[in-house]
Amino acid sequence: MEKKGICAAGELLIDFTPCGTSSQGQLLYARNPGGAPANVLAMAAKLGVKARLCAVVGSDNFGTFLIESMLAAGIDTRFISRTARARTTLAFVDLDERNDRSFTFYRKPGADILLTDAGIPDEAMEGCGVYHFSGVSLTDEPARGAVLRAARRAKEKGLLVSFDPNYRPFLWPQAAQARQAFEEGMRCADIIKVSEEEVAFLLGQENAAQGAAELAKQYDALVLASCGARGALAANPSGLLGRAEALPVTVADTTGAGDAFLGTILAALAGKERAALHSMTEQEAVELLHLGCMAGSLTASKLGAIPALPEKEELQ
- The pLDDT tens digits of the residues spanning 200-255 come to 999 998 899 999 999 999 999 999 999 988 999 999 999 999 999 988 898 888 88
| Helix/strand/coil for 197 | helix
In sequence order, the 6+-apart residues with CB closer than 8 A to the CB of 110 are: 13, 86, 87, 88, 89, 90
What is the residue type of 247? L
Say how many residues make up the chain.
Answer: 316
Q: Give the range among 82-91, 205-214, 307-316 with minimum mean pLDDT.
A: 307-316
CA distances in angstroms from 207 to 47, 175, 199, 237, 251, listed in the order given: 32, 20, 8, 17, 24
Confidence of residue 32 (pLDDT cuts 50, 70, 90): very high
Residue 45 and residue 273: Cα distance in Å, rounded? 21
pLDDT of residue 100: 58
Nearest to 7 by CA among 122, 135, 114, 117: 122
Residue 9 and residue 37: Cα distance in Å, rounded? 6
What is the residue type of 274? R
Residue 277 and residue 90: Cα distance in Å, rounded? 36
pLDDT of residue 97: 65
Q: Give the range among 47-56, 127-136, 293-302 with minimum mean pLDDT.
A: 293-302
> Taking a C-beta distance cutoff of 8 angstroms, is the pair 199, 225 a contact?
yes
Helix 175-188, helix 196-203: angle, nearest 10:
110
Residue 130 and residue 132: Cα distance in Å, rounded? 6
pLDDT of residue 37: 97
The whole-number average pLDDT for the span 285-307 is 92
Nearest to 213 by CA among 200, 225, 226: 225
pLDDT of residue 247: 87
Q: Give the range among 7-21, 66-80, 140-154 with minimum mean pLDDT.
A: 7-21
What is the residue type of 314? E
Q: Is the pLDDT of residue 1 over 60?
A: no
225 beta partners? 194, 233
